[in-house]
Amino acid sequence: MLLKALVILFKEWKMWIFFLIPFVLVFFLDLGNAYNDKSYNDYKDLTNLLSWLFTGIMSLVSFSALFIAFTFENKLVTASKSLKRILKPYSLNKGDLRNTLINYENNLSKDHFLSVLYYVYLIITFFSILVWGTTLKFYRGFNYSEGFKLSIGNFLKIGSGAFFVIVCLSLMLISIALKLIRMNKDPLGKGYLPQIDKICDVDYLVGNKADIMEFFSLNFPILEVYKNPASSIVEHEVTFTLPITVSNFRFVIKLYQSEDRKGILTCFGSLANQMDKTEVGESYTCIVTNKLKEEIYHTINEKDCYGILKIYDKEKNVVAKYTLKKRVETEFNFHFEMDKKLLANFDGSKDRDYGLIESIQCHNGKLVNYQLEM
């Protein structure tokens, strides 16, 4: 992962150009007649002034950059902890999960001030290296051809050169740290923190070994059946609700009569391939049908029924399975919600019900459909 991080950093040529150009300019700098009596004193005073000014400016900017970087690093630490809680939400309830997702998005939201500070820091670093390198070359000329001798002159030459290298490396490390923070480097794990739309993606959760069974035991879909007696023509409506919107949510819900396990109705669908960040924490609700047959409505309402929910990944494998129970709210309204997890052996075999999802003709990226089994 360290090698991967270095490769990513080296691709950021804009950052490295701020370090390379001043070294090249100093290396090819022609001192010319800088050492004659008149010019030497003028240049000496000017280099001293510039070095002093840039030392003060660099100290102030570095302190500010480190302080702000520390603040944003704390936000990344909080986001990293939130990510672990989302992937393994064992101590959360539905409200906690929603708040964790929203807080994660807030902690990872792009801050333009940090970007401005980063480029200001690079510009000041550019001129600081240029000024300090010019000063060092002016005083010492980078000339070490005399060989090493135990003399105060050589020690001062080596010390001044070493100090310059240490300062340059320090500036480079601070720049890299700021860059990694801007790239949302995970401070508690490997790689980089994903954006919220990635986390709210079933395929990402499956690929990153999230506990899908636990996640959807909190964020379980609800199938609601409703009778509208107020209309001139009595309507029997079925709605589907997912409390927290996620993308690539592929599912099949089958309703059965408890007595003979005879199928009544199957609801299936696949939500959007890409969730908008503005939808974080919001619920998704759609009307499956408002023309449910009255006999089907009465069967579900009057009979003892249960449901089976299956959730799929992009490879058409079942990754979570639950039983659903009927909960009556009023005489005109009841719904099916999660009852318990089914500890099935998900061996990677294809489930034939996935063909229902494949048959969907997507409309605006979101669609839930149904079919009768009676």
In this predicted structure, the answer to whether residue 8 has a pLDDT above a threshold of 60 is no
CA distances from 289 to 1, 79, 146, 224 (A): 50, 40, 91, 11
Pick the range with the lowest mean pLDDT from 47-56, 62-71, 189-198, 343-352: 343-352
pLDDT at 144: 47
Residue range 72-102, pLDDT digits in tens: 888 899 999 999 999 999 989 999 999 999 9
In this structure, which amino acid lies at residue 358? Answer: E
In this predicted structure, the answer to whether residue 13 has a pLDDT above a threshold of 80 is no
Q: Which residue has the higher pLDDT, 209 or 3?
A: 209
Tell me how far apart the alpha carbons of residues 366 and 287 are, in angstroms, rounded to a whole number: 12
CA distances from 151 to 65, 136, 140, 154 (A): 39, 19, 15, 5
Give percent of the chain above pLDDT 70: 82
Q: Which residues contact 260 (CB under 8 A, 6 or more apart)?
A: none
Q: What is the pTM of this model?
A: 0.79
- Residue 263's Cβ-side half-sphere holds a number of Cα atoms within 13 Å equal to 11
Residue range 216-253, pLDDT digits in tens: 999 999 999 988 776 666 678 899 999 999 999 999 99
Q: Which residues contact 91 (CB under 8 A, 6 or more apart)?
A: 85
Residue range 102-150, pLDDT digits in tens: 999 998 887 777 888 888 888 888 888 888 787 777 766 545 445 556 6
* Residue 359: both structure tokens together: 């048959």
Q: Which of 324, 246, 250, 242 is nearest to 283 (CA)?
A: 242
Q: Which residues contact 151 (CB under 8 A, 6 or more apart)?
A: none
How confident is the prediction for the chain on average, in pLDDT?
Answer: 81
Residue range 29-61, pLDDT digits in tens: 766 665 565 666 666 677 777 777 777 777 777
CA-based radius of gyration for the chain: 32
CB atoms within 10 A of CB 45: 10
